[in-house]
C-alpha cells in the first residue's frame, strides 16, 4: 500500500465519525450513525494493519480476541439499569489505553523528546491515568461496591489540588529535562491517586456530571495521543469525544444550577444526615386507593427518578401506563435532565420497557402542562420536584430548574421512606394537602396499583 | 512552532468546534447512546496501540501496547454493540390511537 492511501483511509474514517454523530440527532436516523461509526472504524483499523510494519502478530491477535471476548458480554448482556457503570468502565478502558501508549512513547524516545512532544505525552498520561482510576471509582460507586455517599474531610480540596499540581509540575520538569526519567513514574502515580481522590468525594446524584467530565477527559487524552503519534484521525476522534463530554457536563451543570467547580470541589450533599429531619404529618395511600385516584383522572404525568432504576420498576411503570391508556387516561412522562445516574438514563430505561419516545417530555416541554394535569405520579424522584429550588434562597438546590409537579391538582409519590434526597434537603412537596405518599418498593407498589386497576370496572370514557 | 504541531492544533481546534456543533443537536432523549457512541469512536486509539504492540521494538512497549489493544478492542466491540442495542429500543407509538392520526410530538430534550 502506498503512502497516500493511509491518510485517505483516515480521512474517510474521520468523515464517518462526524456523520455518525450527526445522525444521532434523531432516533429515526441514529442507528445509521452506529453503522457509519463501525464502517469508519473498520476502514481505519484495516488500513493501519496493512500499512505499518507489524512484526508481532501473535500479541495483537491475543489482545483482540481477549478484547472481543470481554466486549461482547459488556455490550450485549449488561442490563440497561447497569449502563451507567458500564459507561464509567469503558471510560476507564479508553483512558488506560491512552495512558499506557503515552508511557511507552516516553520510554522509547527519551531523552530525545522536544518540548511540544513532551507536553503532549505529559497531558496524555496525566489525563489518561486520572481518568482511569476516577472512572473505576465511579463504576464501583454505581455498582454499589464502594460507598455511594461522598467522602469528605477538612482541607480535602487543598490536598487534591496539590496532588494534581505536583503531577503537572512533574510534566513541566520533564519538558525542561526529558532525561530525568525518575520523574515520570512519580507523575503517573500522582495522577492515579488524584483520580481516586477526585471521584471518591462525589456522591450519587452528581454522577451524571462526573461521568460526563470523565468522558471529556478520556477524549482529550486520546486526542493528545494523536498529537504524540502525529495521527490526525486520533486527534479528530478524541476531539469529538472531548466535546461530547464538555457538552454533556454543561447540560448537567445547567440542570442543577451549579458550576463545574462546585460539583468537583463543593462536597454537595455531604453534610446531610441520614433522615434526621423533623417529623411532619404526611398523608399516605395504599395501592388500592392510588388505583382509584388514577382511574378517576383525565391526565397523568409520571416523573421517574433514580428510585425507579434502583427498584428496576420501569416495566411495571409501563404496565401501569398501558392500563391507564386503555382506560382513556392521558399519560405523559416528565424527564428531568439529571434524573438517574447519567445523562439520558431515564429515557433508555423507559425505552427498554417499550414506552414510545413521543410519550417522553423534557423539562421545558412538560412544565407548562402541570397546571392542567390531574395527577402527577412521582416514582423515586425527589430533588428534581422540590419546590424549595424556586422559593428558598438558602436551600442548597435553590435556582435549580425543577419539574413543577406541585402545580398539578394532586400528587402521588412512590417512595421507600421519608428519607431526604441526595441534596439532603427536606421536600415540602411531600407535606402538601394534595400529596399522598405511596410507601414501598417502586416495583412492588406499582405492580400493586396495576393489579388493583384491573379489578376496577371498565370506565365509561364518553361520560365525562 | 513546528509545522506538524501547527497542523495538529489546527485539526484539533476545528474538530472540537465541529464536534460541539454536531453534538448540541443530539436531543436529551439520546444522551446515553451519545456517550457510549463517542466512547466507542474514541477507541480509535486502537490504531496507536496496534502500531506500538506490533512494531516489536522493546518488550515493555509490546506489553503496554498489547494491554492497550485489549482495552481499545473491548471499548470498540462493547461500545458499538450497546449503542445499537439501546437505539433499537427507541420506538414511536405504533399506530395512532383514535380516528385521527395523533400529531407527532418532538422527541424529548430538544433543548440543551
How large is the ipTM? 0.88
Distance, CA of A197 to CA of A163 (rounded, Å)? 9
Contacts of B110 in chain A (CB under 8 A): 362, 365
Contacts of A78 in chain B (CB under 8 A): 82
Contacts of A233 in chain B (CB under 8 A): 44, 47
Which SS3 state, helix, strand or coil, does residue B99 take? Answer: coil
Q: Please tell me which residue of chain B has the smallest CA distance to A85.
A: B36
Dihedral over alpha carbons A393, A396, A398, A403 (to 10 degrees): -140
Determine contact: B94 vs chain A, CB below 8 A.
Answer: yes
Q: Which residue has the cell 461530547?
A: A244
Distance, CA of B9 to CA of B94 (rounded, Å)? 48
Name the nearest CA neighbour of A217 among A141, A139, A138, A123: A123
In a domain, residue B22? The reply is: no
Q: What is the residue-level pLDDT of chain A in tens, covering all 464 positions? A: 557 888 999 999 999 999 999 999 999 999 999 999 999 999 999 998 888 777 778 888 999 999 999 999 999 999 988 999 999 999 999 999 999 999 999 999 887 888 889 999 999 999 999 999 999 999 999 888 887 777 777 778 888 889 999 999 999 999 988 888 899 999 999 999 999 998 888 876 788 888 999 999 999 999 999 999 989 999 999 999 999 999 999 998 888 888 877 777 765 544 444 444 556 788 889 999 999 999 999 999 999 998 899 899 999 999 999 999 999 999 999 999 988 888 999 999 999 999 999 999 999 999 999 999 999 999 988 889 999 888 888 887 888 899 999 999 999 999 888 777 766 778 889 998 899 999 999 999 999 999 999 888 876 554 44
pTM of the full structure: 0.87
Direct distance between the N- and C-terminal alpha carbons of chain A, in angstroms, rounded to an integer: 75
Dihedral over alpha carbons B39, B41, B42, B46 (to 10 degrees): 120
Per the structure, the count of domains in chain B is 1
Give the up-direction half-sphere exposure of residue A184: CA atoms within 13 A in the CB hemisphere. 22
Distance, CA of A246 to CA of B23 (rounded, Å)? 10
Q: Which three cell numbers stand for residue A122?
A: 505529559
Name the nearest CA neighbour of B71 among A98, A232, A195, A47: A98
Contact A240, B38 (CB under 8 A): yes
- Burial of A227 by CB count in 10 Å (0-12 exposed, 13-18 middle, 19+ buried)? buried
Q: Looking at the structure, give the CATH architecture of the domain made up of residues A287-463.
A: 3-Layer(aba) Sandwich (3.40)
Distance, CA of A202 to CA of A225 (rounded, Å)? 28
In a domain, residue B14? The reply is: no
How close does chain B come to A276, measured CA to CA in Å? 35
A334 forms beta bridges with A361
Determine contact: B93 vs chain A, CB below 8 A.
Answer: yes
In a domain, residue B20? The reply is: no
Among the partner residues A83, A96, A337, nearest to B71 by beta-carbon distance: A96
Query: Which phi and psi angles does A211 have, rounded to 5°?
Result: -60, -40
Determine contact: B100 vs chain A, CB below 8 A.
Answer: no
Which B residues, 6 through 35, put their C-beta within 8 Å of a C-beta on chain A? 7-8, 11-12, 15-16, 18-20, 22-35
Distance, CA of A128 to CA of A105 (rounded, Å)? 14
Distance, CA of A101 to CA of A91 (rounded, Å)? 16
Among the partner residues A41, A60, A237, nearest to B53 by beta-carbon distance: A60
Distance, CA of B62 to CA of B59 (rounded, Å)? 5
Contact A436, A290 (CB under 8 A): yes
What does the H/E/C string look like for A252-311?
HHHHHCCCHHHHHHCCCCCCCCCCCCCCCCCCECCHHHHHHHHHCCCEEEEEECHHHHHC
Q: What is the pLDDT of residues B30-48, one digit of tens each?
A: 999 999 999 999 999 999 9
Cα-based distances in Å from A245 to A116, A215, A296, A401, B96? 25, 5, 44, 21, 37
The answer to whether the Cβ–Cβ distance between A234 and B47 falls below 8 Å is yes
The answer to whether the Cβ–Cβ distance between B93 and A219 falls below 8 Å is no
Contact A225, A234 (CB under 8 A): yes
Percent of residues, chain B, with pLDDT higher than 90: 61
How close does chain A come to B59, measured CA to CA in Å? 10
Contacts of B24 in chain A (CB under 8 A): 247
Which SS3 state, helix, strand or coil, does residue A414 take? Answer: strand
Longest dimension (CA), chain B: 72
Q: For chain A, what are the domain ranges?
A: 90-265, 287-463
How close does chain A come to B24, measured CA to CA in Å? 7
What's the pLDDT score for residue A202?
Answer: 81
Contacts of B43 in chain A (CB under 8 A): 41, 93-94, 97
Element (H, E) at A411: strand A410-415
How close does chain A come to B100, measured CA to CA in Å? 16
Mutate to test the interface with A, among B45, B66, B79 (most CBs of A within 10 A): B45
The answer to whether the Cβ–Cβ distance between A87 and B39 falls below 8 Å is yes
Who's near A412: CB < 8 A, 6+ residues apart? Answer: A285, A290, A293, A294, A375, A376, A377, A378, A435, A436, A437, A438
Name the nearest CA neighbour of A131 among B77, B13, B42, B99: B42
The answer to whether the Cβ–Cβ distance between B67 and A93 falls below 8 Å is no
Q: Which residue has the cell 405511596?
A: A438
Q: Which of A241, A383, A406, A426 is catalytic?
A: A383
Domain enclosing residue B79, as ranges? 30-90
Q: Please tell me which residue of chain B has the smallest CA distance to A24.
A: B26
In the residue annotation, A441 being an active-site residue is answered as: no
Q: What is the pLDDT of residues B42-68, one digit of tens each?
A: 999 999 999 888 887 888 999 999 999
Say if residue B99's pLDDT is above 70.
no
Amino acid at each position: 500500500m502506498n503512502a497516500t492511501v493511509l491518510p485517505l483511509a483516515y480521512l474517510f474514517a474521520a468523515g464517518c465519525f462526524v456523520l455518525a454523530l450527526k445522525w444521532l440527532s434523531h432516533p429515526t436516523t441514529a442507528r445509521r450513525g452506529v453503522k457509519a461509526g463501525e464502517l469508519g472504524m473498520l476502514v481505519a483499523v484495516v488500513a493501519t494493519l496493512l500499512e505499518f510494519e507489524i512484526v508481532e502478530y501473535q500479541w495483537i491477535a491475543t489482545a483482540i480476541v481477549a478484547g472481543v471476548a470481554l466486549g461482547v458480554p459488556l455490550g450485549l448482556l449488561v442490563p440497561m439499569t447497569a449502563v451507567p457503570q458500564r459507561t464509567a468502565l469503558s471510560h476507564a478502558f479508553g483512558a488506560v489505553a491512552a495512558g499506557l501508549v503515552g508511557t511507552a512513547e516516553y520510554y522509547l524516545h527519551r531523552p530525545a523528546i522536544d518540548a511540544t512532544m513532551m507536553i503532549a505525552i505529559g497531558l496524555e498520561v496525566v489525563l489518561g491515568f486520572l481518568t482511569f482510576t476516577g472512572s473505576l471509582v465511579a463504576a464501583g460507586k454505581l455498582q454499589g461496591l464502594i460507598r455511594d455517599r461522598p467522602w469528605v474531610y477538612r482541607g480535602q480540596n487543598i490536598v487534591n489540588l496539590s496532588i494534581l499540581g505536583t503531577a503537572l509540575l512533574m510534566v513541566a520538569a520533564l519538558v525542561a529535562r526529558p532525561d530525568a526519567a525518575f520523574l515520570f513514574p512519580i507523575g503517573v502515580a500522582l495522577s492515579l491517586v488524584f483520580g481516586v481522590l477526585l471521584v471518591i468525594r462525589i456522591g450519587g446524584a452528581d454522577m451524571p456530571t462526573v461521568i460526563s467530565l470523565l468522558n471529556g477527559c478520556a477524549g482529550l487524552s486520546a486526542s493528545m495521543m494523536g498529537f504524540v503519534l502525529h495521527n490526525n484521525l486520533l486527534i479528530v476522534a478524541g476531539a469529538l469525544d472531548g466535546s461530547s463530554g464538555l457538552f454533556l457536563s454543561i447540560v448537567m451543570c445547567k440542570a442543577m444550577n451549579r458550576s463545574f467547580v462546585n460539583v468537583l470541589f463543593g462536597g454537595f450533599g455531604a453534610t446531610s444526615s441520614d433522615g434526621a429531619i423533623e417529623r411532619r404529618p404526611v398523608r399516605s395511600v395504599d395501592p388500592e386507593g392510588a388505583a382509584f385516584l388514577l382511574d378517576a383522572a383525565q391526565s397523568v404525568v409520571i416523573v421517574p427518578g433514580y428510585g425507579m432504576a434502583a427498584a428496576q420498576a420501569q416495566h411495571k411503570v409501563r404496565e401501569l401506563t398501558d392500563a391507564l391508556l386503555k382506560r382513556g387516561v392521558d399519560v405523559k412522562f416528565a424527564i428531568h435532565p439529571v434524573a438517574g445516574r447519567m445523562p439520558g438514563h431515564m429515557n433508555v430505561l423507559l425505552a427498554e420497557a417499550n414506552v414510545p419516545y413521543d410519550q417522553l417530555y423534557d423539562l421545558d416541554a412538560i412544565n407548562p402542562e402541570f397546571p392542567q394535569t390531574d395527577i402527577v405520579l412521582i416514582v423515586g424522584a425527589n430533588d428534581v420536584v422540590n419546590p424549595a429550588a424556586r422559593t428558598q434562597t438558602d436551600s442548597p438546590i435553590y435556582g435549580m430548574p425543577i419539574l413543577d409537579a406541585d402545580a398539578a391538582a394532586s400528587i402521588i409519590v412512590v417512595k421507600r421512606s421519608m428519607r431526604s434526597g441526595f441534596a439532603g434537603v427536606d421536600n415540602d412537596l411531600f407535606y402538601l394537602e394534595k400529596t399522598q405518599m405511596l410507601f414501598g418498593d417502586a416495583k412492588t407498589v406499582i405492580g400493586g396499583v396495576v393489579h388493583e386497576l384491573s379489578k376496577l370496572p371498565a370506565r365509561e370514557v364518553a361520560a365525562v | 512552532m513546528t509545522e506538524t504541531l501547527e497542523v495538529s492544533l489546527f485539526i484539533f481546534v476545528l474538530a472540537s468546534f465541529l464536534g460541539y456543533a454536531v453534538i448540541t443537536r443530539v436531543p436529551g432523549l439520546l444522551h446515553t447512546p451519545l456517550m457510549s457512541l463517542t466512547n466507542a469512536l474514541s477507541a480509535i486509539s486502537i490504531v496507536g496501540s496496534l502500531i506500538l504492540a506490533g512494531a516489536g521494538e522493546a518488550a515493555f512497549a509490546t506489553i503496554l501496547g498489547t494491554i492497550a489493544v485489549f482495552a481499545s478492542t473491548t471499548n470498540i466491540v462493547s461500545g458499538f454493540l450497546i449503542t445499537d442495542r439501546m437505539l433499537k429500543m427507541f420506538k414511536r407509538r405504533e399506530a395512532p390511537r383514535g380516528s385521527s392520526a395523533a400529531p407527532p410530538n418532538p422527541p424529548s430534550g430538544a433543548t440543551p
